[in-house]
Structure 1
């Protein structure tokens, strides 16, 4: 059977159900149930946790499950490990071992060792596990150490210089590597070679009892295996563990080069990379490159750049894409939930055709994976502090457009003041200067200096920046933001241009430049362009909150309420300290005449948030504001009065200027309700009197206006206007 997993794979599927080229099983329509369960359901509650986020079930695997009953490789799967041509075929006259007629590379499609053989007088062979492109693997028992299971890996092509180089490299690197997600090597031994004569060399490695991700993927799509699942969050958790292994290698100047699902084993409670035959030094441009075609970067990239950290990360992106087929929407599908959208953007960046646009390090990619996982996993407790971003600093700014503030006295004293509509949008310039700020890049000469500057007003900050005399991109970006706060876009543009000049060609692929261009566009009122630029940053940083918050505002401002709601909700689910998202949802719901939903969003701001009291004030105003042409109903007004009594205003005093103004707002809304709907408009509650009446409300509101005039008016004009309002609303009398 030919592989149908991907259009470009030319491999064939063997009796185990896996392609001999890409390592994956065919699509569901081509699969047949695998016989013999490889796992035992875990005991209830047995899990292991990845990245402190994803609980994964502990699985149990029989020790000898992976031993092949028939170790002979079928003819249709016999290819040369070097040139890829068919070898060892011919029916009855076929050769089970020999040399490729094209390139003279040795091949062997039968095992050299048999059950019961003892290698180096220590390792007793149990059976044949697998044949890879460059070797064979056996399960054995270490008779010198309590019969512990080990894996013996033999390189077949020992006379080929390429294979010898791989053997030497694997032996050298594996003996020095020690990481929980990388297979361990214990020994290096030799034994007589029955196939080709002389001596064969064997690596003695840790035996990993489990399933490869290729096998796990097949089992998860097999109706006969309901005990195995592979949801998107598990796939990301496995990728996170793979990246920890790659980061370990990269920090030691090594590249893995041959990542694919068959080279990753899922054991009972761990993920491990195996088959380190392709490991090479970062600066090695001469050794033949080991890699699986589907998961390797283009030949052109290899010729231009060689193997790099970014080419390893490309393979992680392909692995994520392949394992997630059927779990995420394809091109042209309706918009997915934000967590899935973030996953797709993560994969897109990792697989980008231009190396410089991929993730720069395994750490950077794993941090974004953690962010995406936060969006995919169920909402955690609102009392749990969110993980801080390594990319953006938190902002104290709240985008509430005054919704969370007690109306100032000017609401009644300015000309033309009328009943409050309290769900307007923040101004673009205010959002531009209030969004989270990118943290200084660690390699910038001013990084440490900027972390010690503290929160200064823009003028003082500019003075401090001028004192730093070393060229710095971060200094220019800080200068750009300060100029935006001062309302000086031209000079902000000059600072951004200076930063780009320092970066040179790298400026076009630096998301920080895109972010600051978006801030400039917002300041100048070009919200649509700002949204496009923030969307680019989202593509670069799919696990971050800040771009989604910015996108939500831009969508709200340009009238795309559905998109704005998706992003505000995604931010709010993940971080209850980003109260701007709650206020954004409240505004959108008020605009959609969903007063209950707006109040619910505001009530979600937790007590430990600095914006908790502001949200409670905003809830009172949301209950009293008009929605289009509709005044608040009686239940909303009664609820507002109850909430008003519970607010901590004026330093906790039961009376004070803020409470008096907010009380006036509620009374004014109640009177407007009666005037708009008639004398029965407040039926259903006793908050405004029993029974509620227009006369009673007018008297109370007139007293409120007179109190404001007496206690809060700061000039004769305000005093007179407030008295005029009191006289206007008081009940008419005969005297």
Structure 2
């Protein structure tokens, strides 16, 4: 069912403002903006190279003046007294004089169709009521009657004050950004009630505000209008680009809300520049909406700032999220997906009540928003390319302790029970040392020196760090990691405490300290404490992969397989080069005796990954090992044999030590299998050099004995050689001589 509004002769719905299917834009009437016409030549436009948004065509806004009224709760005279309110069932006055101070007031548009402002702009009609004044559609008589918007923002009691105010607002004309409505002039007009009034002259935009868009999206009568989460994040990305542009120029926007962002055919535009002000940490005369403003206490202590702009954007994203609608093919946006949780944490940090805990810049917030967006869209075909790393350096270490390794020789020499399956879960210490390292802060005093430091081992690194004379947080964090490598947790903790002292009041808001506290807890096998610290990091940088990988491991160690799988899967869907997450998922599936599921995950490790060969070895071991649930089937063993033949082992040689060890491991399980009447018969094993021609128990015994003798040739000590020869003798078929 489509929109239930009435379609007029021009083909536009009078309810949602969208061009309806099967209709065309007529040739008559006001000229539509050229940008919208060009947009109609294609079906979509892309944000950040990630989200494809549909190109929309909107009806011209035909709002009429008599429908635009100032709400009673916003009606005050020039002296601040409430006026124009309804009483005893009688409607309030739109015009009159204040009964207390006799100041004249008017809540009707000051300009009427046909009025000319500054001998140039002829008013067509009133469009809307803004936070500071009325907004009008007008035609520029000096520019071929192109349509512009007049935004009334300033009133002054004398011309000299107005002239000073106009001069102060001229900086708006210098702004030029694709996501900010263009301010092209500043004009004045003498209002008969309000006195001299200033108007920002802006490009007239063909579209709808995000407020109107979310209203349409939550209307069940308009199923064709949607607001999925990936679109919300795309809008946020474009808004952040606009805010970053303003902030870098020492300006604040101050009045961010859904009403002040326009969705045009193929662009997001921040509109209503009436509240833009210099970033001087003051707040007198601040323009803003109560539901999107920071607290008065913050304004009094910190003043208006970039962080208060980002607070308002966080509130805006939260408002859009409350009215989101499902999007197609975005499983990461499902209500229980980790991407949704990451979005909530993004908003929570942007709107944190503590000024220090919020994003410090639009660029910082944009990095995390893009990470969350990638998570929402994860699982697509572009996973073959590694994701750009933001706040962490790439790590070459694989979080695996043996699943992807060829069994070492001591596996057959040791006395422990080799029937117990080792899924390769790494120790907490190995994980602490293998997780990605935070990128050094480029603003750190020692950043230049640290960028040149190279050391072959942690002790050499400590020796070099001792020569750095600057007081540096990054130096202390590097010391902390080096001491962890040397298994010296006390010195690591001392270095971390030194970093906290340098940061002083900023220490509690610095996620790097929480990250290193988590690493310190992991090396001590304090999993719950590490999980709390990693969760704090996730709250601060919700777009990053590293804390989710760490939280997946902590959940795995605590035996919470569903939570571990949720984190591992979110990382793995997002970046196929995070092989640690793949191995974690494989371990979880093995714990559920799901060999096929574990192999399927390992097979997803791309050929370009440094861990591709390791994953292929792991798949062979998964298919050919005894799990707690029992032996593999003959079909699984045969599959392992076929895979073994394709592995690149021993430098590419057809025979070698690694291939001999894997062959011995497979033959051991084959012997167990043919001796087990409950599982399979030797006839089910593939004929060939690994199991014999044809496979029989006697034949498998003979081949396994040969494997043990080949392993004995790898031994470096006589005692080890003898153990392996004894194994060969014990397994060989019995004979009479």
TM-score after normalising by structure 2: 0.89
Superposed, 1:281-360 pairs within 5 Å as 281-285=278-282, 287-327=284-324, 336-360=336-360
Superposed, 1:313-712 pairs within 5 Å as 313-327=310-324, 336-381=336-381, 384-419=384-419, 421-454=421-454, 456-677=456-677, 680-687=680-687, 688-689=691-692, 692-710=695-713, 712=714
Other structure's SS at 1:392 match? coil
CA RMSD in angstroms comes to 2.7
**Structure 2 CA distance for aligned equivalents of residues 81 and 405 of structure 1:** 80
Alpha-carbon distance change, 648 to 202 in structure 1, aligned in 2, over 3 angstroms:
same
Superposed, 1:75-86 pairs within 5 Å as 76=72, 79-80=75-76, 83=80, 85-86=82-83
**Structure 2 CA distance for aligned equivalents of residues 571 and 155 of structure 1:** 49
CA contact (8 A) 1:518 1:533 kept: yes
Q: Which residue of structure 2 lines up, in the alignment, with residue 250 of structure 1?
A: 247
Cα offset for 1:388?
2.1
> Unaligned regions of 5+ residues in structure 1, if any?
1-15, 17-32
Which piece of structure 1 moves more, 377-386 or 286-295?
Answer: 377-386
Cα offset for 1:298?
1.2
**Structure 1 CA distance for aligned equivalents of residues 263 and 679 of structure 2:** 72
- Which of 41, 45, 49 is the equivalent residue of 2:46? 49
**Structure 1 CA distance for aligned equivalents of residues 661 and 81 of structure 2:** 82
**Structure 1 CA distance for aligned equivalents of residues 163 and 258 of structure 2:** 24
Which piece of structure 1 moves more, 359-368 or 103-112?
Answer: 103-112
Other structure's SS at 1:512 match? helix
Other structure's SS at 1:188 match? strand
Q: Which residue of structure 2 lines up, in the alignment, with residue 280 of structure 1?
A: 277
Q: 1:96 and 2:94 equivalent?
A: yes
Alpha-carbon distance change, 338 to 556 in structure 1, aligned in 2, over 3 angstroms:
same
Other structure's SS at 1:452 match? coil
**Structure 1 CA distance for aligned equivalents of residues 303 and 425 of structure 2:** 51
TM-score after normalising by structure 1: 0.89
Q: Which residue of structure 2 lines up, in the alignment, with residue 67 of structure 1?
A: 63
- Which of 211, 221, 225 is the equivalent residue of 2:222? 225
Cα offset for 1:49?
1.2
Alpha-carbon distance change, 474 to 75 in structure 1, aligned in 2, over 3 angstroms:
closer
Cα offset for 1:689?
4.4
Cα offset for 1:336?
2.4
Q: Which residue of structure 2 lines up, in the alignment, with residue 4 of structure 1?
A: none
Alpha-carbon distance change, 284 to 521 in structure 1, aligned in 2, over 3 angstroms:
closer
Which piece of structure 1 moves more, 685-694 or 604-613?
Answer: 685-694
**Structure 2 CA distance for aligned equivalents of residues 112 and 97 of structure 1:** 11
Q: 1:214 and 2:206 equivalent?
A: no
Superposed, 1:87-126 pairs within 5 Å as 87=84, 89=86, 95-98=93-96, 107-126=105-124
CA contact (8 A) 1:243 1:366 kept: yes
CA contact (8 A) 2:253 2:277 kept: yes
Alpha-carbon distance change, 543 to 81 in structure 1, aligned in 2, over 3 angstroms:
farther
Q: 1:267 and 2:270 equivalent?
A: no
Q: Which residue of structure 2 lines up, in the alignment, with residue 724 of structure 1?
A: 726
Which piece of structure 1 moves more, 613-622 or 73-82?
Answer: 73-82
Cα offset for 1:155?
3.5
- Which of 183, 207, 214 is the equivalent residue of 2:181? 183
> Unaligned regions of 5+ residues in structure 2, if any?
6-12, 22-38, 327-333
CA contact (8 A) 1:214 1:262 kept: yes
1:144-175 CA-to-partner distances (Å, cap 9, x unmatched) read 323321101224744499x9699648723312
1:457-481 CA-to-partner distances (Å, cap 9, x unmatched) read 2122112111212111100100110
Alpha-carbon distance change, 228 to 141 in structure 1, aligned in 2, over 3 angstroms:
same
Q: 1:37 and 2:17 equivalent?
A: yes
Alpha-carbon distance change, 218 to 237 in structure 1, aligned in 2, over 3 angstroms:
same
CA contact (8 A) 1:255 1:279 kept: yes
Alpha-carbon distance change, 422 to 545 in structure 1, aligned in 2, over 3 angstroms:
same
